[in-house]
Amino acid sequence: MSIVYDERVDGVLPKVDKAALLSELQARLPDLDVLHTEEDLKPYECDGLSMYRTTPMMVVLPEHIGQVETLLKICHQRQVPVVARGAGTGLSGGALPLEQGILLVMARFNKILEIDPAGRFARVQPGVRNLAISQAAAPYELYYAPDPSSQIACSIGGNVAENAGGVHCLKYGLTVHNLLKVEILTVEGERMTLGSDALDSPGFDLLALFTGSEGMLGIVTEVTVKLLPKPQVAKVLLASFDSVEKAGRAVGDIIAAGIIPGGLEMMDNLAIRAAEDFIHAGYPVDAEAILLCELDGVEADVHADCERVRQVLEAAGATEVRLARDEAERVRFWAGRKNAFPAVGRISPDYYCMDGTIPRRELPGVLKGIADFSEEYGLRVANVFHAGDGNMHPLILFDANQPGELERAEALGGKILELCVKVGGSITGEHGVGREKINQMCSQFNSDELTLFHAVKAAFDPSGLLNPGKNIPTLHRCAEFGSMHVHHGQLPFPELERF
Amino acid sequence: MSIVYDERVDGVLPKVDKAALLSELQARLPDLDVLHTEEDLKPYECDGLSMYRTTPMMVVLPEHIGQVETLLKICHQRQVPVVARGAGTGLSGGALPLEQGILLVMARFNKILEIDPAGRFARVQPGVRNLAISQAAAPYELYYAPDPSSQIACSIGGNVAENAGGVHCLKYGLTVHNLLKVEILTVEGERMTLGSDALDSPGFDLLALFTGSEGMLGIVTEVTVKLLPKPQVAKVLLASFDSVEKAGRAVGDIIAAGIIPGGLEMMDNLAIRAAEDFIHAGYPVDAEAILLCELDGVEADVHADCERVRQVLEAAGATEVRLARDEAERVRFWAGRKNAFPAVGRISPDYYCMDGTIPRRELPGVLKGIADFSEEYGLRVANVFHAGDGNMHPLILFDANQPGELERAEALGGKILELCVKVGGSITGEHGVGREKINQMCSQFNSDELTLFHAVKAAFDPSGLLNPGKNIPTLHRCAEFGSMHVHHGQLPFPELERF
């Protein structure tokens, strides 16, 4: 796909005098690393969503906040668009660069500034990797709860921008629930603090507004995250099912039994086999679906809950329920799940990872719907997802070298997301909207709601220089895209009912 | 205090033609209850903060959302300011009416629309009382976690507007952490949904932004809250101390030991004696301070944690540690705490309840600072508060009939809040800013930050009709108030260092 920012529908970007900008940067920020040759720029043409690629006009790699401050002031004065990027692991093209813009790479801000075990927080720079926070907190028996599958590589600044989740967010919440404070630079290069060290902050909750705003409201320069005490014990149950619908129903049964698992994940046969081939986790390759249910807390509690969950799973028709025998097997069970995406990558030339949420009760029906779409479009779909919180990740398998397959994959993905919205869910759980789902936002929200989003954006960034073309579609794009608004399952015309 | 909206510093409100407005309301909404005579209006002149009083121009008591919709359209067209009110229990004057505005009372929207035990949510109208939700969910062994002391009377719409907390929010979070979805009407009378039934919602997090926005961004018409499974067991420890500083340090020690209590509350001697006189909770009236520490979960877990907390308390110098013998005693211990405000009301003609948050580690020093201020201003201060999350509630005792005492109480309150900001905390934990702390917002935030708040407000309500004069001060007010900005403890001039 070549055109990723389309001025016809996304708005006209200012024309940038590249040579003049470059010489001003070199004059005012002589220590700043600036990449501007074709070969230097190439590695930055996409993030974790490789379907869309654009060569940025320029890439900057600052090392001091003062550099970012000056850079933003220069860009603001010259009206140069700026796209921020952390580790580049995002899956919705949120850090996709612009041909006429600067890509601001924050990866070198990788210092852990403070761990306060009594206050239970860590203050870190935005380029610090998610897992590095938990590693630094480990000596105090504390950890940072949100754990996206990319946690070994993804940075906390990107986690804030995308409001990242993970396999444990059913119990411990998303990024937004685990933040105390974020320092940002505004589009004008002014420093600002959102949130506070205290529990609550007066005025409007700009910290929550900022979290998940995908680089459109400001640049993260420092993050203070909450740390939690490590659970004393964690156990994982692996349950096999002979149908995905039964597994889907079992998820609702566990929650209805009053249990809050640390994680509750589901994989279907295609995902099971791919992961098993790759990781040798010990998964039952003949099962149509498995559930991984983690219970954590104190010994007695976990032991009792394991028994209750086992009973619920058996009553729901599980053909086998296995408790990980030891910590090594527990880690292996999770390794299979966390590596499911690359595992699927081994069995198909390309795959397209979707990310939609639905109310839990809709799981069986939506899984059936996805199977039907898969057949209709002639493309395999592997399901591996955060079942407990209704956050689905269908992986659509295709071969971009086969004419038409990419377009079919995109269309199939769109159908799945529309189905999510239709049953009362949403088009993204944790990967963000970015460039990928910009059109589906026209289905999720009506024009009044989109207008309100734009007004909020304008409150922070009136000239729209920060990450333009992502997250919130222009009304013009929605008109062009021609999507019917299917807000909360209410189709305006019954004859359009297609699910 | 007579002038509560001051056009010199809060902005000029539109002049309203009351007679014309009344006749339009009567013509277009014949079923709507409209109060407009002096005697009918009197009961609405203040909310739970009785220090400020204004007689509203008109009070409306709608019963159907359609009425609110039309009312807002009329008010928008005529540029009539609107102040929303729930049960009127708020403690910061957030629902204080305007002489030139409509007071929109949402108390009659008191229906519980849906309890979904499997989805673990309740969908209710905004006038439903906080406690009524837990009562309706009780048959399913579920409850709604945030429990402000006023929970028997306060309404969920008001809880959303003020982001209410309670004694259990240390473990279970504030209102914002327990919401799934809010239906609102915009200032133009348009219906809008913020949040979703799913875990996350794409676009900006307007649900979190709206929560705690104190009626300035829209009118709540429906709330979907999360329900939690009731803990199997809850136990309360009562620890006595011979100094408030020791009790303050014990709070930090409990948290540092890796325990997350369901609630962790502190009361000083004045509060203990007042509560004991009123409720006969069995408190030790000779103690300088007590801590109430609740532990909840499964039996074995709670039992083990009780022992650990007892050890920590004893090591911190507690003179006595008592475990509530049974459920009746546990309820009595909490009744004393939850009725501490009215109890203090019995020993003083008037009291002024403050609400500030501080980082937990600052507790001992801030308690000392409050004692010093109390002496300096010659007014008694009772302390009773959510110690675990650093949310203080100093109650300043005074007699409004003694010339100058009200002003001294206000000044003393201001000093306490400045101290909170100074040590890295904030001027409100859960009661909101409202009218009460509008001046202190000038200390908490700088003009860039206030400008951003105003821009966000304008995104929702460009003409500023919703609850004007509350929550976010105008820059003009801050200039007039002349406050030094003491953001995050950084005083601009060291010679102003006074604490």
pLDDT tens-digit readout, B362-400: 988 999 999 999 999 999 999 998 888 888 999 999 998
Alpha-carbon distance B486 to B414, whole Å? 13
* Count of alpha carbons within 13 angstroms of residue A340, beta-carbon side: 30
Would you say residue A398 has pLDDT above 80? yes
In A, which residues are within 8 Å of B120 by CB distance? 255
Give the residue-averaged pLDDT of A96-119.
95
Would you say residue A495 has pLDDT above 70? no
Buried b (16+ CB within 10 A) or exposed e, B32-64: bebbbeeeebeebebbbbebbbbebbbbbbbee
Q: What is the pLDDT of residue B487?
A: 40
pLDDT confidence tier of residue A168, bands split at 50, 70 and 90: confident
Nearest to B456 among A165, A390, A456 (CB): A456
Would you say residue B164 has pLDDT above 80? yes
Give the residue-averaged pLDDT of A280-286.
96
Percent of chain A with pLDDT over 90: 71
The first and second tokens of residue B471, run together, are 């929550």
Nearest to A471 among B173, B203, B432 (CB): B203
Q: What is the pLDDT of residue B489?
A: 36
Alpha-carbon distance B232 to A303, whole Å? 15
Which residue type does B42 have?
K
Chain B residue closest in CA terms to A191: B448
Catalogue all structural domains in chain B, each as residue range(s) with its CATH number: 7-105 (3.30.43.10), 233-343 (3.30.70.2190)
In B, which residues are within 8 Å of A429 by CB distance? 198-200
The first and second tokens of residue A79, run together, are 């009206």
Would you say residue B49 has pLDDT above 80? yes
Q: Which of residues 95-114 of B touch A (CB under 8 A)?
A: none
Ranges of H-type helices in A224-298: 244-256, 269-279
Backbone angles phi, psi at B453, to 5 degrees: -55, -45
Would you say residue A1 has pLDDT above 70? no
Percent of chain A with pLDDT over 70: 95
Q: What is the pLDDT of residue B480?
A: 83
Residues A40-59 pLDDT 10s:
999 999 998 877 899 999 99
In B, which residues are within 8 Å of A391 by CB distance? 198-200
Residues B391-402 pLDDT 10s:
899 999 999 899
Alpha-carbon distance B382 to B267, whole Å? 8
DSSP of A288-317, one letter per residue? SEEEEEEEEESHHHHHHHHHHHHHHHHHTT
| Gap from A419 CA to chain B (nearest CA, Å) | 14
The residue among B16, B32, B23 whose CA lies nearest residue B77 is B16
Which residue type does A362 have?
E
Q: Are A393 and A148 in contact (CB under 8 A)?
A: no
Q: What is the pLDDT of residue A215?
A: 97
Tell me the three state secondary structure of residue B446: coil
The first and second tokens of residue A175, run together, are 């990024």
The residue among A302, A335, A330 whose CA lies nearest residue A231 is A302
The first and second tokens of residue B338, run together, are 């939850």
Q: Are A492 and A446 in contact (CB under 8 A)?
A: no
Cβ of residue A298 closer than 8 Å to a chain B Cβ = yes
As a whole number, the mean pLDDT across chain A is: 91
Ranges of H-type helices in A29-129: 38-41, 65-78
As a whole number, the mean pLDDT across chain B is: 91
B267, B313, B486 from B373: Cα distances, Å: 18, 28, 19
Would you say residue A183 has pLDDT above 80? yes
Would you say residue B497 has pLDDT above 60? no
Taking each helix axis from N to C end, the angle separating A340-347 and A327-338, rounded to the nearest 10 degrees, works out to 50
Contacts of B390 (CB under 8 A, 6+ apart): A198, A199, B357, B358, B359, B360, B362, B363, B425, B429
Which of A72, A121, A183, A200 has the highest number of chain B CBs within 10 A, making it the mutation to test binding with B? Answer: A200
Alpha-carbon distance A352 to A262, whole Å? 27
> What DSSP state is assigned to residue A465?
-
Q: What is the pLDDT of residue A71?
A: 98
Backbone angles phi, psi at B133, to 5 degrees: -65, -50
A216, A384, B441, B473 from A203: Cα distances, Å: 21, 40, 8, 10
Alpha-carbon distance B267 to B384, whole Å? 4
Would you say residue B486 has pLDDT above 50? no
The residue among A485, A384, A482 whose CA lies nearest residue A443 is A485
Q: Do the Cβ atoms of B200 and A165 come within 8 Å?
A: yes
Nearest to B211 among A198, A205, A459 (CB): A205
Q: What is the pLDDT of residue A176?
A: 93
Q: What is the pLDDT of residue A62?
A: 98
**Any bridge partners for residue A195, and if so which?**
A181
Residues A428-462 pLDDT 10s:
877 889 998 898 899 889 999 999 999 999 999 99
Residue with tokens 């074709």: A38
Residues B60-75 pLDDT 10s:
999 999 999 999 999 9
Give the residue-averaged pLDDT of B45-59.
91
Which residue type does B197 have?
D
pLDDT confidence tier of residue A487, bands split at 50, 70 and 90: very low
ipTM: 0.84
Q: Which of residues 157-176 of B touch A (CB under 8 A)?
A: 163, 165, 169, 173-174, 176
Backbone angles phi, psi at A226, to 5 degrees: -75, 145
Q: How far is CA A267 from the centre of its chain?
A: 19
Alpha-carbon distance B162 to B431, whole Å? 6
Would you say residue B495 has pLDDT above 90? no
Ranges of H-type helices in B53-168: 65-78, 130-137, 156-162
The first and second tokens of residue A244, run together, are 């995905």
pLDDT confidence tier of residue B3, bands split at 50, 70 and 90: low
In A, which residues are within 8 Å of B248 by CB distance? none
Would you say residue B55 has pLDDT above 70? yes
Q: How far is CA B310 from the centre of its chain?
A: 31
Nearest to A252 among B118, B260, B425 (CB): B118
Residues B216-225 pLDDT 10s:
999 999 999 9
Poorest-pLDDT segment among A26-35, B33-42, B267-276, B486-495? B486-495
Q: Do the Cβ atoms of B118 and A361 come within 8 Å?
A: yes
| Gap from A395 CA to chain B (nearest CA, Å) | 20
Chain A residue closest in CA terms to B199: A389
Q: What is the pLDDT of residue B485?
A: 43
Nearest to A198 among B173, B196, B426 (CB): B426
Nearest to A204 among B209, B359, B390 (CB): B209
Would you say residue A335 has pLDDT above 50? yes
Q: Are B16 and B100 in contact (CB under 8 A)?
A: yes
Cβ of residue A256 closer than 8 Å to a chain B Cβ = yes
Q: What is the pLDDT of residue B282?
A: 96
The 3-state secondary structure of A186-226 reads CCCCCEEEEECCCCCCCCCCHHHHHCCCCCCCCEEEEEEEE
Would you say residue B297 has pLDDT above 60? yes
| Gap from B35 CA to chain A (nearest CA, Å) | 31
The first and second tokens of residue A441, run together, are 């936002």
**Any bridge partners for residue A2, and if so which?**
none
Q: Do the Cβ atoms of B204 and A196 come within 8 Å?
A: no
Q: What is the pLDDT of residue B315?
A: 97
Alpha-carbon distance B68 to B308, whole Å? 53
Alpha-carbon distance B130 to A270, whole Å? 47
Q: Which of residues 55-94 of A touch B (CB under 8 A)?
A: none
Alpha-carbon distance B251 to B317, whole Å? 12
Q: What is the pLDDT of residue A346?
A: 92
In A, which residues are within 8 Å of B252 by CB distance? 118
